[in-house]
Amino acid sequence: MALKQILTEPDKILREKSLKVNQVDEDLQKLMDDMLETMYAAPGIGLAAIQVGVPKRVIILDIGLRDKSESTNDEKQVTRKNPMYFVNPEIITKSTNNSTYEEGCLSVPGQFAEIERPDKCHIKYLDYYGQPKELVAEGMLATCIQHEMDHLEGILFIDYLSKLKKSMIVKKLTKQKEQLDRIVI
């Protein structure tokens, strides 16, 4: 496994629309393994392939839900609880009820905002082995799935904020990047 660099706003690649995966093969599984390692290292609870510069419709999540049967004091479980892999995810239905969560994004470092989204969603996707699956998600899981699926369309959570709030965040991140560039030079 290998760590990948996570792209941050403003980076035009994050605005690309990701392409459907034709085949879940070894190369794609390697990408998913690398994404998982990168996400755990960040640390984060979700990651879309485009965040590591790969415009494929692949997302991974680990929001820490685990099977009730699993032991709780296994040390490895602290960082790696329940990885979930979604290839070519599609929304079948979304709830008309909304809920609000404070969202963050590894591509928008250090910034958080309350975002309203449908509180449930029913999705279909291919799993790590390319098998078709369906899932009804609610709560934090539903929020994260929608956040990650937005990445596949080139959408970031800051796009839902007012123009003023969004531009302040983009300005801040642009400045941070310029300062980093100066250090690198």
26 is annotated as an active-site residue? no
Stretch touching ligand GNR by CB under 6 A, among 71-79, 88-96, 102-110, 169-177? 102-110
Task: Give residues 107-146 in contact with ligand GNR (rule: CB under 6 A).
Answer: 107, 143-144
The item of Ni ion, ligand GNR, none sharing an interface with residue 89, based on CB under 5 to 8 Å by kind, is: none
> Binder to ligand GNR among 10, 104, 109, 118 (CB under 6 A)?
104
The torsion angles phi and psi of 157, rounded to 5 degrees, stand at -60, -25
Q: Specify the residue, 88 or 143, whose C-beta has the smaller distance to ligand GNR.
A: 143
Residues 6+ apart with CB under 8 A from 179: none
Q: Specify the residue, 38 or 88, whose C-beta has the smaller distance to ligand GNR.
A: 38
Stretch touching ligand GNR by CB under 6 A, among 29-37, 75-83, 100-108, 163-171? 100-108
The torsion angles phi and psi of 129, rounded to 5 degrees, stand at -100, 10
* Identified catalytic residue from 90, 148, 153, 178: 148
Nearest Cα residue to 174 out of 109, 112, 106:
109
> Binder to ligand GNR among 52, 106, 152, 173 (CB under 6 A)?
106
Give the nearest distance from C-beta 106 to Ni ion in angstroms: 6
Residues 6+ apart with CB under 8 A from 102: 112, 113, 114, 115
Does 40 participate in binding ligand GNR (rule CB under 6 A)? no
- Print the binding letters for residues 143-162 with ligand GNR: x by CB under 6 A, - otherwise: xx--xx--x-----------
Over the range 118-131, which residues count as b (16 or more CB within 10 Å of their CB) and which as e? bbbbbbebbebeee
Over the range 147-178, which residues count as b (16 or more CB within 10 Å of their CB) and which as e? bbbbbbebbbbbebbeeeebeebbeebeeeee
Task: Give residues 91-130 in contact with Ni ion (rule: CB under 5 A).
Answer: 105
Nearest Cα residue to 39 out of 56, 54, 18, 60:
60
CA–CA gap between residue 31 and residue 52 (Å, rounded): 10
Q: Binding residues for ligand GNR, per CB under 6 A?
A: 44-48, 51, 101, 103-107, 143-144, 147-148, 151
Residues annotated as part of the active site: 148
